[in-house]
Amino acid sequence: MDLRVRIGNKHLQTPVGVASGTFGYGEEYEPFLDLDSLGAIYTKAISLLPRQGNPTPRIVETPSGMLNAIGLANVGADAFITEKIPYLARLSSCAVIPNISGKTEQEYLDLVEKLDPYDTLWGYEINLSCPNVKKGALAFGTDPAQVESITRKLRDLTEKPLIIKLSPNVTDIACIAQAAEAGGADAVSLINTLVGMVIDTRAKKPFLANKTGGLSGPAVRPIGVAMTYKTARSVDIPVIGMGGITCADDAIQYLLAGASAIQVGTWNFIEPATAGEIATGIQAYMKEHALSTIADFHNCID
Amino acid sequence: MDLRVRIGNKHLQTPVGVASGTFGYGEEYEPFLDLDSLGAIYTKAISLLPRQGNPTPRIVETPSGMLNAIGLANVGADAFITEKIPYLARLSSCAVIPNISGKTEQEYLDLVEKLDPYDTLWGYEINLSCPNVKKGALAFGTDPAQVESITRKLRDLTEKPLIIKLSPNVTDIACIAQAAEAGGADAVSLINTLVGMVIDTRAKKPFLANKTGGLSGPAVRPIGVAMTYKTARSVDIPVIGMGGITCADDAIQYLLAGASAIQVGTWNFIEPATAGEIATGIQAYMKEHALSTIADFHNCID
Amino acid sequence: MNDASVTIVQNTEHSPTFRELSFTWDASLGRPRAGQFLELRLPGTTAPLLRRPFAFSAYDEENQTASFVYEVRGTTTQLLSTMEPGMPLQILGPLGNMFHAKTKGVIAVGGGIGLGPILYAAHQLSPHHDLTLVTGYRSQESIPYSLYTPSCPPSICTDDGSAGVKGNVVEYLESLPQERFRDTTILACGPHPMLAALASFSNAVGCTCLVSMEEMMACGIGACMGCVIDRTDGTKARVCKEGPIFNSGEVVWT
Amino acid sequence: MNDASVTIVQNTEHSPTFRELSFTWDASLGRPRAGQFLELRLPGTTAPLLRRPFAFSAYDEENQTASFVYEVRGTTTQLLSTMEPGMPLQILGPLGNMFHAKTKGVIAVGGGIGLGPILYAAHQLSPHHDLTLVTGYRSQESIPYSLYTPSCPPSICTDDGSAGVKGNVVEYLESLPQERFRDTTILACGPHPMLAALASFSNAVGCTCLVSMEEMMACGIGACMGCVIDRTDGTKARVCKEGPIFNSGEVVWT
Ligand SMILES: Cc1cc2nc3c(=O)[nH]c(=O)nc-3n(C[C@H](O)[C@H](O)[C@H](O)COP(=O)(O)OP(=O)(O)OC[C@H]3O[C@@H](n4cnc5c(N)ncnc54)[C@H](O)[C@@H]3O)c2cc1C
Ligand SMILES: Cc1cc2nc3c(=O)[nH]c(=O)nc-3n(C[C@H](O)[C@H](O)[C@H](O)COP(=O)(O)OP(=O)(O)OC[C@H]3O[C@@H](n4cnc5c(N)ncnc54)[C@H](O)[C@@H]3O)c2cc1C
Ligand SMILES: Cc1cc2nc3c(=O)[nH]c(=O)nc-3n(C[C@H](O)[C@H](O)[C@H](O)COP(=O)(O)O)c2cc1C
Ligand SMILES: Cc1cc2nc3c(=O)[nH]c(=O)nc-3n(C[C@H](O)[C@H](O)[C@H](O)COP(=O)(O)O)c2cc1C
Ligand code: FES
Ligand code: FES
């Protein structure tokens, strides 16, 4: 049985990763699981300069989901290099994949250029889709032409695997994925969060200081699976699926839908040990259903 | 205190309606509430010819939501006229609004032409957005130019209020709403269901016979509120909000977000009496917060 | 038909597979009949969201309680199994049509969680009919002996022969003499393959067979069109409204 | 820090407002300190989804139980209030930093659901410090008298004067002689306005004030950056990780 997943010129040891923004840079989860058992850690978004993020409240619960408007709060590229990379370098088999977030096209390019010399970093997940940053990436992520163009420029800067993370807030996510593929992406990951809002009726104002936030959690799982299914049938590069995964069975839904790898996001907050257990559950399923590689999942459903 | 809502040249007695496809043609709910206390009943979609709809399973539960792929099963326009209109004609103060669903532009036009003579029918909700019909309305609902064009043609056929129902499966719902407004719509209603999928991992196939279905229920409420908020700020016609409403407080979120009326959908299945209780809850809120008309809700949040 | 809050009276494990829930049932809610079902909801959460259908297994008019038999399968039944007497449940019902028999003979056949409504039907019909109760299980350990009453002694079949007759309920019926099916109605509730087999069996022996169908339900009251099955006349029928009890001859078995 | 399934031992109503939940707490899970909290989840549902933070109100090493005090406010606490001894809970903890006092004098101030951690702090510190316990309520009927112990007798304030001193806890502190605040630390947990008022009061009288802050939390372990507050040095601090206990002087009060 082979759980490895090929992306670009490299492999992930298992399809199970943890989603950007839900796992910090890993440290906080060490008490709960063996980080090196994961396929990949997608870090909290990294921007060129440190960001404080949005005012609080940044979080509100919704039925089987949550909204967040963290606002890409992060330490910035320099502190990431000096403080986080040394810690993450201790991992031997788990891929460390920074999630790259810019306010401008140039910022994306600068970030990849700056981080590329660090061998500890396995590749990049390019966040073209965060709905919480004003004047931010939303524009990129919804326009195929811009997605293709920025992907091509990033492609020229690095040989490492380049994963383009897609927004679900679009009419046709598959067409954005095709643009990323055309630009030279090694994989696409989806879904980022959906734009949502909760209004505090007593205070007569949006509950989040940022007004809107990004919806994630079990509530969005059927949307993530449907978009994965559609996208996997539209591109030849691997699709990394996420949205509402809570257990091996949810992960297997994504694999059967056509994903080559998956990420656990919000559920890390609820059951911090989960991501460490899913690979075992996938293995048990593969045994029971006589599947020998992850690619075998993709022949089950047409 | 005035709960009335003006749409086109008519009024709804209260902002509270029941959403198409979740209330049949009203009969089944008579044991649970006084239908005439509702602002409006939006009927199950009506097509020119009767439709059997999709094979079962048509329904699957998801976290705080459900997928449906009923496939617009309905009695067809003729049976609607002979069997349902006489029953619905007994309602005196509740508006009866057929939900119009075509496979082609012509079918929409034919339907409105056919139904327009019936005075019992208050107006129309034009379903440009059902994601479950193959080769169906999805194309219309996502393209502003087509939405404007079909709205204009329908506008020429009727003086009754024309409500265009919008799909949430788009990059920019406000821009579709503007197209409907430009075409002469009296209101827009949103959101219809989001495309979703659940995979039965034991059987290795999609749970629904139709593969994908439409996601509704509390899970989608934050998405519906956010889209209502955005749309209400982009058009001058009234917005009718829905998606996951379960109680007066949820309805009030939509009103504060900018909706002039609301619809209760999936929750009718869970608590069939709810729609009859929400207007009272809205009234209590208006009293407590010293609001005297529904329009007053729209001045609270900028 | 009513939407009511009722109170759990008992939540009993009868075997590792079968549990029985009893709850207050005020007469004003309407007398539940064998074959009818209720739609249950656990208050206070939206996950599980949809109500779940359960068929009445008993109604005690004197003590104003009703019951159903259930198996822990997923979200609702898992949570249900942890609930204690005194806790509230939201119940919509009684819903749907009922079992009936115009013949002298009745053979009531239950498989798996089809047991509840079949016990109820057997209990109600046994005084007036020549009744045989047949119930099938995987193996001995799942049999909820304490659910049976002396007035309706069951024939028990197990797949592995660890109790009663070895084989499934259809094989058991096949082993009965043909005369047993004269002026007789088969009433059945259980897994789809069992019902399909009984449909063709009853067709072969020429007796009426009423089956309780199962489909995913959203509303339970005929509004959503979610629970339809195909009828041989080409139409669709709602399990919650035209059913759940159908004549096996009118169902398209796939 | 641990992720464990624990069992409810008691779920007691102490007043119409305050309930106390006790549960098994194996010593291996780590000794909970006053000011620390746990993240609780009801198993079997995703609505409520997020864990909810509750501050420890007691730890009984001998019987291996721990407790918190809670008020029914929304989804989780509503469901919690119906749960019975023997039922399981998922608990992550102990989390966060703790109350401490380097001074001889301690004034522990609790308002509303801030009561739990303040009772725990008072209980732990009273043997070694010159301790005053001050607790504020809306009116007499909400007071959970049975939560107090003779070793830590409280001063009680009520907004309407129906019990104890009329007025809020800050007004009560203002009524105390200035000397009471010499070599003294104020420990406080309660509504944001109360903490803000205590911050400026303590500043005025020149004593240290440690406050327990409250923010919406998603992870509770420092990973999501959801629960931050602004510090006077311009940085943000996570309530779950750098807190929940902060020196009132380092918090930007808005
Ligand atoms: C008319 C009628 C009467 C009934 N009477 C009874 C009765 O008396 N007793 C009884 O125990 N049951 C009865 N049922 C069935 C009962 O409603 C189900 O057993 C119940 O819904 C189980 O609910 P649950 O929430 O525990 O499980 P669910 O979580 O709803 O799961 C139920 C089953 O569906 C499958 N399933 C659920 N979701 C998925 C998914 N996403 N993908 C693949 N499979 C899935 C699961 O494997 C599981 O076996 C009746 C059904 C009908 C229609
Ligand atoms: C460090 C820390 C320690 C705590 N310790 C305790 C303790 O010891 N005891 C205790 O009782 N509580 C404590 N709390 C607070 C506790 O976590 C909350 O009371 C608890 O979350 C209530 O949960 P709930 O699910 O019942 O209510 P929720 O449903 O989460 O609602 C809680 C409150 O938020 C408001 N609210 C929720 N959703 C919305 C919305 N969409 N719009 C507007 N308002 C909304 C509600 O009005 C309600 O008042 C603590 C909090 C923190 C951060
Ligand atoms: C608190 C929070 C912070 C997030 N931050 C980021 C981020 O910085 N960059 C990014 O690409 N996605 C971010 N996401 C999105 C997740 O990586 C993921 O795409 C999304 O949450 C869907 O998965 P889930 O439903 O499993 O959480 C964030 C999500 C959450 C809940
Ligand atoms: C079972 C079902 C059938 C539906 N059928 C229709 C339909 O025929 N026409 C339509 O415009 N919308 C239909 N809808 C969408 C609802 O009217 C509504 O837009 C959607 O469910 C969101 O609201 P809710 O979350 O309150 O259910 C249907 C929804 C459900 C759940
Ligand atoms: S469940 Fe809705 S029609 Fe049967
Ligand atoms: S709750 Fe996640 S960082 Fe504090």
- Of C70, C116, C110, C61, the residue nearest C89 (C-alpha): C70
How far A62 CA lies from chain D's nearest CA (Å)? 8
Q: Write out the two tokens for D231.
A: 């510090």
3-state secondary structure of B229: helix
Q: Write out the two tokens for B78.
A: 């003729």
Angle at A64 between CA A58 and CA A67, to 5 degrees: 20
| The pLDDT of residue A135 | 47
| The pLDDT of residue A285 | 98
Task: Give me the CATH topology for the region A5-53+72-195+215-299.
Answer: TIM Barrel (3.20.20)
pLDDT confidence bin for B131, thresholds 50/70/90: low
- Per the prediction, chain B carries an average pLDDT of 94
Residue percentage of chain D with pLDDT more than 70 = 100
pTM of the shown model: 0.97
- Pocket flag, ligand 6, residue D216 (CB < 6 Å): no
pLDDT confidence bin for B103, thresholds 50/70/90: confident
| The pLDDT of residue D123 | 94
- Bridge partners (DSSP) listed for residue C70: C19
- Pocket flag, ligand 4, residue B217 (CB < 6 Å): yes
**D2 vs A27, more confident:** A27
Residues A134 and A211: their CA atoms lie apart, in Å, by 12
Give backbone dihedrals phi and psi of B30, rounded to 5 degrees, phi first. Answer: -55, -35
Mutate which of D11, D18, D33, D77 for ligand 2? The one with the most ligand atoms within 8 Å of its CB, which is: D77
B190, B241 in Cβ contact below 8 A?
Answer: yes
* Buried-state track D97-132, b at ≥16 Cβ within 10 A, e below 16: bbbbbebebbbbbbbbbbbbbbbbbbbbbbeebebb
Cβ contacts of C52 on chain B, cutoff 8 Å = none
Q: Write out the two tokens for D242.
A: 């750098």
Tell whether the model's pLDDT for residue B43 goes beyond 70.
yes
Residues B91 and C3: their CA atoms lie apart, in Å, by 23
- Pocket flag, ligand 3, residue A43 (CB < 6 Å): no
pLDDT confidence bin for D1, thresholds 50/70/90: low
> Could you state, in order of their start, the residue ranges of all structural domains in chain A?
5-53+72-195+215-299
Q: Write out the two tokens for A229.
A: 């299914």
- Pocket flag, ligand 2, residue D21 (CB < 6 Å): no
Average pLDDT (B10-28) is 97
| The pLDDT of residue A134 | 46
Q: Write out the two tokens for A28.
A: 């906080």
- Pocket flag, ligand 2, residue D130 (CB < 6 Å): no
- The rounded Å distance from CA D41 to ligand 2 centre is 13
Catalytic site residue B130? yes
Count of C-beta atoms within a 10 Å radius of residue D81: 15
* Buried-state track D40-60, b at ≥16 Cβ within 10 A, e below 16: bbbebbbbbbbbbbbbbbbbe
Cβ contacts of C50 on chain B, cutoff 8 Å = 61, 66, 269-270
* Buried-state track D215-248, b at ≥16 Cβ within 10 A, e below 16: bbbbbbbbbbbbbbbbbeeeebbbbbbbbbbbeb
C-beta atoms of A52 and D236 within 8 A = yes
B196, B207 in Cβ contact below 8 A?
Answer: no
pLDDT confidence bin for B104, thresholds 50/70/90: confident
* Positions in chain A whose pLDDT score sits under 50: 133-138
Tell whether the model's pLDDT for residue C125 goes beyond 80.
yes
pLDDT confidence bin for D96, thresholds 50/70/90: very high
- Of A284, A232, A219, the residue nearest A262 (C-alpha): A232
Tell whether the model's pLDDT for residue B136 goes beyond 60.
no
Report chain C's terminal Cα–Cα distance, integer Å: 32
| The pLDDT of residue C1 | 65
Residue of B nearest to D48 (CA): B64
- Per the prediction, chain D carries an average pLDDT of 95
* Nearest-CB residue to C79 (from D44, D75, D84): D44
Tell whether the model's pLDDT for residue B134 goes beyond 90.
no
* Nearest-CB residue to D82 (from C46, C48, C87): C87
Which sign does the torsion angle of CA B89, B94, B95, B100 carry?
Answer: negative
How many Cα neighbours within 13 Å face the side chain of B117?
4
**Beta-sheet strand order (sheet of B65-68):** B59-62, B65-68, B212-216, B194-197
| The pLDDT of residue A139 | 59
Lowest mean pLDDT among A48-52, B231-235, C49-53, D209-213: A48-52
* Nearest-CB residue to D45 (from C47, C84, C87): C47
- Give the residue carrying structure tokens 């759990």: C8
Per DSSP, the residues of chain C read -EEEEEEEEEEEESSSS-EEEEEE--GGG----BTBEEEEE-TT-SSS-S-EEEEEEEEETTTTEEEEEE---SHHHHHHHT--TT-EEEEEEEES------SSEEEEEEEGGGHHHHHHHHHHHTTTSEEEEEEEESSGGG--GGG--TTSPEEEEETTSSSSEES-HHHHHHHS-GGGGTTEEEEEES-HHHHHHHHHHHHHHT-EEEEE-----SSSSSSS--SEEEBTTS-EEETTTT-SEEEGGGB---
Q: What is the pLDDT of residues D11-27, one digit of tens each?
A: 999 999 999 999 999 99
Picking from B199, B267, B301 by the largest number of A CB atoms within 10 A of its own CB, the best residue to mutate is B199
Cβ contacts of B61 on chain C, cutoff 8 Å = 48-50, 216
3-state secondary structure A62-126: ECCEEEECCCCCECCHHHHHHHHHHHHCCCCCCEEEEEECCCCHHHHHHHHHHHCCCCCECCEEE
Cβ contacts of A73 on chain D, cutoff 8 Å = 225, 228, 236
C-beta atoms of B205 and A300 within 8 A = yes
Q: Which atom of ligand 5 is nearest to the CA of C241?
A: 4
Query: A174 labelled as ligand-binding?
Result: no
- Of C7, C194, C200, C192, the residue nearest C88 (C-alpha): C7
How many Cα neighbours within 13 Å face the side chain of B206?
26
Q: What is the pLDDT of residues B170-218, one digit of tens each?
A: 999 999 999 999 999 999 999 999 999 999 999 999 999 999 999 999 9
The runs of H, that is alpha helices, within chain D are 75-81, 115-125, 169-175, 192-205
Per CATH, D3-95 and D105-212 having the same topology is answered no
| The pLDDT of residue B60 | 98
- Give the residue carrying structure tokens 């705080």: B64
Cβ contacts from A onto D, under 8 A? 95
Q: Write out the two tokens for A131.
A: 């709905």
> Could you state, in order of their start, the residue ranges of all structural domains in chain D?
3-95, 105-212
Cβ of residue A273 closer than 8 Å to a chain D Cβ: yes
For C121, counting Cβ atoms within 10 Å of its Cβ (0-12 exposed, 13-18 middle, 19+ buried), the class is buried
C228, B58 in Cβ contact below 8 A?
Answer: yes
Q: What is the pLDDT of residues A180-235, one digit of tens each?
A: 999 999 999 999 999 999 999 999 999 999 999 999 999 999 999 999 999 999 99
Say which CATH class D105-212 falls into.
alpha beta
Per DSSP, the residues of B240-282 read EEESS--SHHHHHHHHHHT-SEEEE-THHHH-TTTHHHHHHHH
Residues B72 and D64: their CA atoms lie apart, in Å, by 59
| The pLDDT of residue B72 | 83
Count of C-beta atoms within a 10 Å radius of residue D151: 10
Residues D217 and A138: their CA atoms lie apart, in Å, by 26
- CATH for D3-95, among 2.40.33.10, 3.30.70.20, 2.40.30.10, 2.40.50.100? 2.40.30.10
Q: Write out the two tokens for C86.
A: 């005194």
